[in-house]
Structure 1
Amino acid sequence: MPVPGEQGRHKRSLLREQAYLSLRDAIVNGTLAPGEKLRDPELEKWLGISRTPIREAMARLETAGLVHTMPGRSTVVSTIDRKAVLDAQAVAAAMHALAVRIAVPLMGEGEFAAMTEANTEFADALTAGDPAAALRADDRFHQVAVEASANQVIPVALESVTPVLRRLEFLRFSSLSGRESIEQHDRIIELCRRGDADAAAAATQQNWETLTLLAADQETL
């Protein structure tokens, strides 16, 4: 699938973070397909920014495992194999569980309300058939505990593995199986309210491990 045809999607003042997010999201939702070559002139035209922030974003995407540079300096969208996904999923599940275990004693009504609101938005997005919005709401749900934990190492670890999982999450939230997460999220909220850190952490890990079932059916993404 070619680079989207609209021009100047972003102004030249766009930071490389925004370029990274636009490219990442296009890879996650399949607009930029595995094996597709990413050419600077086309990306400059699409994003409406210069080559330098694009190349910086591409370097970050390569570190995240979403693109790779071929001999001769041709950059293509990566095909992510099952083992890479499963390895990343195991780390993400453990880190989110750790965040919840640390966060539960520190959480209050503000955090519970934020998680409930995010899960409502998540459910609404799934009902509307909008996997991109569901992915954003799911991020917000889990981010509550990550921030409440106040552990600065956890988000760094998650940043290194989460990008690899996004295509799998997008597929999950595009199917009926994604609705299982609604009840799983409700269970996590209830356990957090009870102050049961160990059970909430276990429920969080189980929620992330549901990706393993989908990954088991995927040789490549």
Structure 2
Amino acid sequence: MPIPDRRVPIDRRLLREEVFGQLRDAIVDGTLAPGEQLKDLELADWLGVSRTPVREALLRLAEAGLVVATPGRSTVVSSVDLRAVREARDVVAALHSLALREAIDRLTRADLQRMREANRRFKQALRDGDVESALRADDDLHGVPVVVAGNTALTSVLEQFTPVLRRAERLRFSTLDGRASVRRHDDLIRLCEAGDVDEAAAVAFDTWHSLPATDAGDTDDATTTED
């Protein structure tokens, strides 16, 4: 397995979460490609940790569907499964809708401003053709209601399934046209500011559920981001 030359620093206080996050992100951004065999000793050397947190991370990644582990044989990065993407999309959309319902009455002016600023960065990243920055800004925007909601169970499930969607985007989309996404973000912020719970929750759901869970060639709008 090819391992990047760069050694990634690990915060020892959050070792397990850091190892899991580093491996998850490497799969999502394509550093570790579908079908690639993962050896815990090589991964541990790359991250500068022992094999134990790596093995624990691989178990969690298997639960999320990002790797496939065959007992007694090997662990490989999974291929993108369209059914898994559709299922993850449905769950993530429903949970973001729920987060909006729980958070909307507690969103402050500062929270709304953070959402506006994230959408500004999202729009600029689209103009620049910077997919990675657009996705980070998108996560920041939608993360505001999730944090305000403070529902740890909801957050845990989102952390498990959102990477499945982000990975599908990076692997399928060669371009990023998000004009509709910017408008949906604007609508979401406006509805949150007005305290319109039902409409805001509906927009949050539709925003995530609009991700095409099909091959890029199957739909004319396959080059649009989901939100």
**TM-score, normalised with respect to structure 2:** 0.85
Q: Deviations over 1:81-105 (max 9, x none)?
A: 1111101100110110111122222
- Paired AA for residue 72 in structure 1: G
Question: Who is 1:87 aligned against?
Answer: 87
The alignment status of 1:31 with 2:31, answered yes or no, reads yes
Q: 1:79 to 1:218 in 2, by over 3 A?
A: farther
Question: Who is 1:198 aligned against?
Answer: 198
What SS class does the counterpart of residue 38 from structure 2 fall into? coil
What SS class does the counterpart of residue 34 from structure 2 fall into? coil
- Paired AA for residue 112 in structure 2: F
Question: Who is 1:114 aligned against?
Answer: 114
Measured in 2, the distance between the counterparts of 1:132 and 1:216 equals 21
Deviation at residue 76 of structure 1 after TM alignment: 0.4
Q: Which runs of 5+ in 1 are unaligned?
A: none
Deviation at residue 110 of structure 1 after TM alignment: 1.5
Question: Who is 1:63 aligned against?
Answer: 63
Measured in 2, the distance between the counterparts of 1:115 and 1:158 equals 19
What SS class does the counterpart of residue 36 from structure 2 fall into? coil
Q: 1:198 to 1:15 in 2, by over 3 A?
A: same
Question: Who is 2:18 aligned against?
Answer: 18
RMSD of aligned Cα (Å): 2.3
Measured in 2, the distance between the counterparts of 1:34 and 1:127 equals 29
What SS class does the counterpart of residue 159 from structure 2 fall into? helix
Deviation at residue 75 of structure 1 after TM alignment: 0.7
* From 204, 214, 217, the counterpart of 1:216: 214
Deviation at residue 173 of structure 1 after TM alignment: 7.1
Deviation at residue 188 of structure 1 after TM alignment: 0.5
Measured in 2, the distance between the counterparts of 1:9 and 1:160 equals 22
Q: Does the 8 A contact of 1:92 with 1:161 survive in 2?
A: yes
- The sequence identity of aligned pairs, in percent, is 51
Question: Who is 2:8 aligned against?
Answer: 9
Measured in 2, the distance between the counterparts of 1:174 and 1:204 equals 25
Measured in 2, the distance between the counterparts of 1:178 and 1:74 equals 39
Q: 1:100 to 1:176 in 2, by over 3 A?
A: same
Measured in 2, the distance between the counterparts of 1:42 and 1:131 equals 29
Question: Who is 1:175 aligned against?
Answer: 175
Q: Which runs of 5+ in 2 are unaligned?
A: 218-227
Measured in 2, the distance between the counterparts of 1:196 and 1:173 equals 33
Deviation at residue 152 of structure 1 after TM alignment: 3.3
Q: Deviations over 1:151-203 (max 9, x none)?
A: 33321332332222221243577522344322211110011111111111111
Measured in 1, the distance between the counterparts of 2:92 and 2:144 equals 15
Q: Does the 8 A contact of 2:131 with 2:176 survive in 1?
A: no
Worse overlay, 174-183 or 193-202: 174-183
Q: Does the 8 A contact of 1:105 with 1:195 survive in 2?
A: yes
Worse overlay, 165-174 or 197-206: 165-174
Instruction: Note the 1:156-175 alignment, pairs <5 A.
Output: 156-171=156-171, 175=175
